[in-house]
Amino acid sequence: MKSSLLLASSLSTLVSSLSSEIAADAPFHYIPIDYNYGYNERVTANLTYGTASDAQPVRTVLDTGSANFWVWGPDAVINYGSQYLGFTGPCNTSVPLEYDLLNSTTAVVTNHSSYYSYGGNSKILSGTQYSNDTITASGGNGAISNTQFALATHGQLRQYDNGSCLGTTYDLAILGLAPYTTDLYTAGPLFRQTLYETGAVAARTVVMWFNQAVRVGEKFTGGALFGAIDTSKFTGPLVRVPNAGGAVGLYVHKPLIKINGKTFNTSYATDCLVDSGTHADSLPFSYTDNQESAFYNATNGMLMAYNGVVAYNGPCSAIPANYSIGYEFAGVNANESITINVPIRNYARSSSSYANASDAATVCPLNMDLTSDCIFGATFFTALFLAHDEGDGSIAFAQGGVASDGSELNAASFRAFGAGESF
Ligand SMILES: *[C@@H]1O[C@H](CO)[C@@H](O)[C@H](O)[C@H]1NC(C)=O
Ligand SMILES: *[C@@H]1O[C@H](CO)[C@@H](O)[C@H](O)[C@H]1NC(C)=O
Ligand SMILES: *[C@@H]1O[C@H](CO)[C@@H](O)[C@H](O)[C@H]1NC(C)=O
Ligand SMILES: *[C@@H]1O[C@H](CO)[C@@H](O)[C@H](O)[C@H]1NC(C)=O
Ligand SMILES: *[C@@H]1O[C@H](CO)[C@@H](O)[C@H](O)[C@H]1NC(C)=O
Ligand SMILES: *[C@@H]1O[C@H](CO)[C@@H](O)[C@H](O)[C@H]1NC(C)=O
Ligand SMILES: *[C@@H]1O[C@H](CO)[C@@H](O)[C@H](O)[C@H]1NC(C)=O
Ligand SMILES: *[C@@H]1O[C@H](CO)[C@@H](O)[C@H](O)[C@H]1NC(C)=O
Ligand SMILES: *[C@@H]1O[C@H](CO)[C@@H](O)[C@H](O)[C@H]1NC(C)=O
Ligand SMILES: *[C@@H]1O[C@H](CO)[C@@H](O)[C@H](O)[C@H]1NC(C)=O
Ligand SMILES: *[C@@H]1O[C@H](CO)[C@@H](O)[C@H](O)[C@H]1NC(C)=O
């Protein structure tokens, strides 16, 4: 999710089948990912922290929009209930122990302060210790030892509560995938850099994909590979697109937007954040020059504005599987471009935007809005095959969402990268 300015400053059978089927000539790590059905879901993986005998997997956000890696430490408290930035709310809640570092024989804890801020400071976390420990991805290709992450012990969420303190929802852990930069938002710990420095991968690459959608109301399954690629997870060419640089996260130049045979070059001159830790897509259409109404007109009444978001003009279950929106990105080479087609029904994620419950029979609010920002969130990732090389900063896109739901790594199309190799 978007980092913000600081104000003051298993499946064990699967593991064995994978390691026997995949003959890799370089080290790599595979982390299965999913994207649950729900309005505020993001790209997640089940990671087990440490080696305590009763350690359970923790649902961890895999976030291309931030760089640091943290999990809740012991005795953590979250404060909430103020709708104003920077104010302590009336409510707090204890975070159940999820990383039992005292019972993890592999834990090495050091004193180190941490301070992370997300979403315009609406979510602030801090702690005083880091841990180096083993983490294990459910369904992955084995434990990753000596991984460093921060232990958050205090959280402050900006979230209104009427004083009853009925509870809050919060992330259990965030693993940042955004590349290291020299600014303070990437103070670390940095998962990708640690993987590379400890020799757990030989190349500083990550690729991420989702499989085909099942139906509206289902979660998506997919994977992330560090130091390797599986080319059966996309179709067509993998095209390098310019890295637009800028703030923390992956930024690309804005694409042309294609719907129902019409093409739009949106009016806002902005680059786009590619952010697996954001729940929705925001497209930079301007309402002041009629571009927004031209967009809706182009859909011949299939899409409509509804309660601040883009909606399908019918119930969610009726969205045709072949109805999609295309995003055409210019390539690094002037003769190349890549269009990512996202099925519209992938945007139906149990929206909270209904004006009233009776509308559900006639309209389907989507996880898509038209604003001055350009953000490609988890919804976009359902159809994207993303490749990023932290070594040279290159970003490449291909059409994802093609492998069958729940599919595993494919030995025939798998390749691990040696030192100096890339996608
Ligand atoms: C994570 O764990 C949940 C609960 O066991 C399971 O339903 C889901 O498939 C798992 N996801 C991944 C990516 O391992
Ligand atoms: C819980 O919230 C109250 C404010 O209502 C605060 O005074 C108290 O210190 C908080 N407790 C912790 C452990 O943060
Ligand atoms: C964890 O450690 C505590 C003492 O620190 C002990 O009482 C408890 O039994 C341990 N649990 C496990 C599962 O080893
Ligand atoms: C770590 O911090 C704690 C609490 O401030 C302190 O008691 C301890 O001595 C520190 N450890 C080291 C190695 O500095
Ligand atoms: C706060 O909201 C809850 C649920 O909406 C309601 O049950 C409760 O009565 C409200 N409390 C106050 C003090 O308004
Ligand atoms: C913990 O991990 C960091 C990052 O890889 C590394 O610099 C540090 O040496 C490690 N500490 C120990 C005690 O292994
Ligand atoms: C789209 O508009 C931008 C300005 O916002 C311009 O730089 C770019 O060349 C345009 N692209 C095309 C394909 O017309
Ligand atoms: C959209 O369609 C309406 C009615 O068909 C028309 O009046 C309006 O000018 C169109 N708007 C744009 C921006 O094309
Ligand atoms: C989608 O499929 C339907 C029939 O299955 C067809 O009538 C329609 O033209 C298709 N639309 C697109 C955009 O391909
Ligand atoms: C585009 O140009 C580059 C360099 O000139 C070349 O290597 C590449 O094959 C070309 N791509 C296509 C699709 O023609
Ligand atoms: C629900 O909202 C629609 C407008 O979106 C309105 O026409 C309808 O009367 C509302 N129904 C109720 C029961 O409030």
The finding on whether 293 has its CB within 6 A of some atom of ligand 8 is yes
Question: pTM for the full model?
Answer: 0.93
pLDDT of 10 over the 60 cut: no
Across 308-317, average pLDDT? 97
Average pLDDT over every residue of 211-235: 96
Per-residue confidence at 183, pLDDT binned at 50, 70, 90?
Answer: low
pLDDT of residue 185: 67
Q: Which atom of ligand 8 is nearest to the CA of 297?
A: 1
CB 314 near ligand 2, within 6 Å: no
Q: What is the pLDDT of residue 6?
A: 37
CA 249/CA 24 separation, integer angstroms: 30
Ligand 8 atom nearest residue 294's Cα: 13
> What's the chain's average pLDDT?
92
For ligand 10, atom 14, the nearest C-alpha belongs to 335
Residue nearest ligand 8's atom 5 by CA: 297
DSSP string computed for 343-366 = EGGGG-S--S--SSGGGGGT-EE-
- Residue with CA nearest ligand 5 atom 2: 162
pLDDT higher for 394 or 82?
394
Region 342-346 average pLDDT: 98
The 10s digit of each residue's pLDDT in 396-423 is 999 999 999 999 999 999 999 999 999 9
CA of 267 to the centre of ligand 7 (A): 9
Whose CA is closest to 202, among 170, 174, 232, 225?
225
d(CA 350, ligand 11 centre) in Å: 19
Q: What share of the chain has pLDDT > 90, as a percent?
A: 82
> What was the pLDDT predicted at 14?
40
Nearest atom within ligand 7 for CA of residue 269 = 5
64, 250 contact by CB (below 8 A)? yes
Q: Taking 90 as the threshold, does the pLDDT of residue 286 lie above it?
A: no
pLDDT of residue 184: 59
Q: Which H helix or E strand runs over 229?
A: strand 228-230
Q: Can you list the domains of the chain with their CATH numbers? A: 29-200 (2.40.70.10), 235-400 (2.40.70.10)
Closest to 92 measured CA to CA, from 104, 102, 78: 78
User: What confidence category does residue 289 fall into, taking pLDDT thresholds of 50, 70 and 90?
Assistant: confident
Mutate which of 164, 166, 168 for ligand 5 pocket (most atoms within 8 A of beta carbon): 164
